[in-house]
Structure 1
Amino acid sequence: MSLSIAGQNILDVEVTNISSHEIWLLTGNKEFFMSYEDFPWFQDATVKDILTVEQPSPNHFYWPNLDIDLSLEIIQNPQHFPLKSCI
């Protein structure tokens, strides 16, 4: 009997810590700090919504329950991407 796994490959990404000030994202062998000051969309999100993260391609992360797309560049250098609000 042989077994096969159907579906698409999913790259490794995981939220490893959630605190009152930040979240930590692990991808590959590196962990990235994401403060709520720089990423305020996560501050009032549920734990389930924060933990539901996908990596559709290398260096691209998506939280489907929150409709948040972030690149590794944004996570590493949030100062280069000031927040903008559209009302």
Structure 2
Amino acid sequence: MSLKARGKSTLVSEVTNIGKTGFWLLYQDIEYFILFNDYPAFKNATVKEIYSMKVIGPGQLRWKELDCDIEIDALEKPEEYPLIYR
């Protein structure tokens, strides 16, 4: 049996820049700005922890070391997703 190489991933996502007030996230050719004040789990995170983001499903992002998940829908329609941090 012959195994073929996997195709190119269609879920393109990466952290593109980190600033004083938040960071830029590129997901499927759209850039989003994540404010540290809106997502305090990232406020004291290291650069390595912020860059360790993984796509876990369509529109679902996870930072395992920070125990933080964000759905793209919440970034696009924040009024529909009140932020609750515990």
Global fold match (TM > 0.5): yes
One-letter amino acid of the structure 2 residue matched with residue 34 of structure 1: I
Closer/same/farther in 2, CA of residues 48 and 65 from structure 1, 3 Å limit:
same
* Percent of pairs with identical residues: 35
For residues 43-71 of structure 1, the C-alpha deviation after alignment (integer angstroms, 9 at most, x for no partner) is 10000000000111111000111111111
CA distance in 1, matches of 2:42, 2:60: 17
CA distance in 2, matches of 1:56, 1:38: 21
Match of 2:23 in 1: 23
> What TM-score do the two structures reach when normalised by structure 1?
0.79
The answer on whether the counterparts of 1:10 and 1:56 sit within 8 Å (CA) in structure 2 is no
* Coordinate RMSD, CA, aligned: 2.3
Structure number with greater CO (CA < 8 Å, separation at least 6) is: 1
> Which structure 1 segments of 5+ residues have no match?
none
Closer/same/farther in 2, CA of residues 71 and 5 from structure 1, 3 Å limit:
same
> Which structure 2 segments of 5+ residues have no match?
none
Closer/same/farther in 2, CA of residues 26 and 49 from structure 1, 3 Å limit:
same
Match of 1:67 in 2: 67
1:50-61 mapped onto 2 (5 Å cutoff): 50-61=50-61
> What TM-score do the two structures reach when normalised by structure 2?
0.80
